[in-house]
């Protein structure tokens, strides 16, 4: 809801009023000081004898002290009258000057406001591009531009994520619908054909279900809601993950070696098990026949670490960071079935949710080594 522009206590108005109050206060203090000094001024008649008379220009004679008091009163009255006029003049000029100067100083803020009002899904590329003095306003404008850069990147990433998720879900659904339509359109379909259709539909539904589960895990990790915090070992999920991939490991004749030292952490057991499972599944899927997988765990005194490495085809180090984005897959899937492209992005999200980090190094002879580091649980 847009605020009314009437009687708004704007920053410009408040700064102008503050400047006006300061001018009035300073002028009044100076006027009061001058009034006191005039009242306490010492006239030469104080050195005259008592009952001394003063002859005025009109030949009138008056007592010297009475003349002094009258002169002081007249000077104070004139001082007050002219001082008030001077204060009013200075206040008006100062108010106008302050209003103009503050308005000029706040002009970049109006540009920030105007840019913010124009922002939308299609206009996130607009920037303030402030070119004035290097002051607080310039810092604010630069910060706002940097925030827009981050928002634009996040918005585009969200658009890519939604498009990719829609595409990934559409594929198994299309397979199921095609199989059902083709089978039902055949009037002479037999039991074997129906069983074949059922198997295809089951596989496609499992793939869609796995994708939905992965999306839910990713969303939960990124939102950091409902996370359990229990003492556990970062490598506790490794045996279960190796057992789940046992058939695939045997089929591709992979050599698995492990050196698991205690890696105590505090975190959500389900997410940390999924983390280990995704790393090992990724190492199996992106490998070559007869390749190797090595798994290590331990701590460096500050962080608990889980390291999973695998052989495989060469990976460009420049492309490694992109593999942790949702729906990003390696250039060639080596041995495993086609995945959803969410495995490493879930690993990254789980690490962030637990205050840790994940990094990967492309090996010179092919393959990668991925290192997960989470805060060490102190004894």
CATH no. of 136-223: 1.10.287.130
Spans of all domains in the chain:
11-105, 136-223, 230-375
Bridge partner residues of 299 (DSSP): 304
Instruction: Say if residues 372 and 234 touch (Cβ distance below 8 Å).
Output: yes
3-state DSSP of 284-322: HHCCCCCCEEEEEEEECCCEEEEEEEECCCCCCHHHCHH
Rounded CA-CA distance 276/61 in Å is 113
The structure tokens listed for 318 are: 């420049």
pLDDT tens, 147-190?
888 888 877 777 776 776 676 677 778 888 888 888 888 888 88
The C-alpha atoms of residue 121 and residue 220 are separated, in whole angstroms, by 25
pLDDT confidence of residue 333: 45
Q: What is the pLDDT of residue 242?
A: 92
* DSSP assigned state of 149: H
In DSSP terms, 306 is beta-bridged to 297, 372
217 is written with which tokens? 């895990």
Contacts of 292 (CB under 8 A, 6+ apart): 254, 255, 256, 257, 310, 311
What is the C-alpha separation between 144 and 127, in angstroms, rounded? 8
Assess contact for 73 and 114: CB atoms under 8 A.
Answer: no
Q: State how far the Cα of 225 lies from the Cα of 228, in Å rounded to an integer.
A: 9
What tokens does 43 get?
């006239």
What are the distances in angstroms from CA 64 to CA 42, 46, 165? 13, 9, 103
Cβ neighbours for 270, distance < 8 A, ≥ 6 positions apart: 228
Question: What angle, 0 to 180 degrees and rounded to 10, lies between the N-to-C axes of helices 191-223 and 136-184?
Answer: 170
- Taking each helix axis from N to C end, the angle separating 191-223 and 343-353, rounded to the nearest 10 degrees, works out to 30
CA–CA separation, 295 vs 289, rounded Å? Answer: 18
Beta-bridged to residue 298, according to DSSP, are 305
Residue 340 near residue 320, CB atoms below 8 Å: no
Residues with pLDDT less than 50, the chain: 1-2, 4, 333-337
Question: What is the crossing angle of helices 269-285 and 191-223, to 10°?
Answer: 120
3-state secondary structure of 284: helix
Decide if 373 contacts 303 (C-beta within 8 A).
yes
CATH architecture of 230-375: 2-Layer Sandwich (3.30)
| The overall pTM is greater than 0.75 | no
**Fold match flag (136-223 vs 230-375):** no
Give the integer Cα–Cα distance in Å for 149 and 133. Answer: 22
> Each residue of 271-281: pLDDT tens digit?
888 889 889 98
Cα–Cα distance for residue pair 71/61, rounded to 1 Å: 15
- Residue from 43, 42, 66 nearest 56 by CA: 66
In degrees to the nearest 10, what's the CA dihedral of 179, 181, 182, 186?
A: 130
Residues with Cβ within 8 Å of residue 118, at least 6 apart in sequence: 126
Asked whether the beta carbons of 92 and 16 are under 8 A apart, the reply is no
């Amino acid at each position: 809801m847009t605020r009314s522009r009437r009687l708004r206590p704007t920053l410009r108005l408040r700064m102008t009023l503050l400047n006006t109050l300061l001018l009035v206060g300073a002028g009044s203090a100076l006027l009061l000081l001058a009034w006191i000094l005039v009242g306490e001024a010492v006239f030469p008649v104080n050195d005259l004898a008592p009952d001394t008379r003063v002859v005025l220009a009109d030949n009138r004679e008056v007592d010297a002290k009475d003349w002094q008091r009258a002169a002081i009163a007249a000077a104070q009255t004139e001082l007050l009258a002219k001082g008030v006029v001077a204060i009013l003049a200075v206040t008006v000029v100062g108010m106008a000057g302050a209003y103009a100067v503050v308005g000029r100083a706040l002009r970049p803020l109006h540009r920030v406001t105007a840019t913010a009002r124009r922002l939308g899904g299609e206009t996130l590329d607009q920037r303030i591009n402030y070119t004035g003095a290097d002051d607080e306003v310039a810092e604010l404008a630069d910060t706002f531009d940097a925030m827009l850069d981050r928002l634009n990147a996040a918005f585009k990433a969200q658009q890519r994520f939604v498009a990719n998720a829609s595409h990934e879900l559409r594929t198994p659904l299309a397979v199921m619908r095609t199989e059902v339509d083709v089978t039902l359109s055949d009037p002479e379909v037999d039991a074997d054909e129906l069983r074949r259709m059922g198997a295809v539909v089951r596989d496609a539904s499992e793939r869609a279900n796995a994708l939905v589960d992965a999306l839910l895990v990713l969303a939960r990790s990124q939102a950091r809601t409902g996370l359990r915090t229990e003492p556990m070992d970062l490598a506790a999920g490794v045996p279960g993950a190796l057992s789940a991939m046992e058939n695939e490991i045997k089929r591709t004749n992979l050599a698995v070696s492990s050196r698991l030292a205690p890696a105590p952490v505090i975190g959500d057991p389900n997410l940390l098990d999924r983390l280990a499972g995704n790393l090992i599944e990724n190492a199996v899927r992106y490998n070559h026949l007869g390749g190797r997988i090595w798994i290590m765990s331990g701590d460096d005194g500050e962080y608990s670490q889980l390291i999973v490495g695998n052989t495989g085809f060469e990976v460009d180090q420049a492309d490694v960071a992109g593999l942790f984005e949702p729906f990003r897959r390696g250039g060639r899937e080596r041995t495993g079935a086609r995945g959803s492209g969410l495995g490493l992005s879930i690993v990254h999200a789980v690490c962030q949710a637990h205050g840790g980090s994940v990094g990967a190094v492309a090996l010179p002879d092919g393959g990668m080594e991925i290192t997960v580091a989470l805060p060490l649980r102190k004894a």
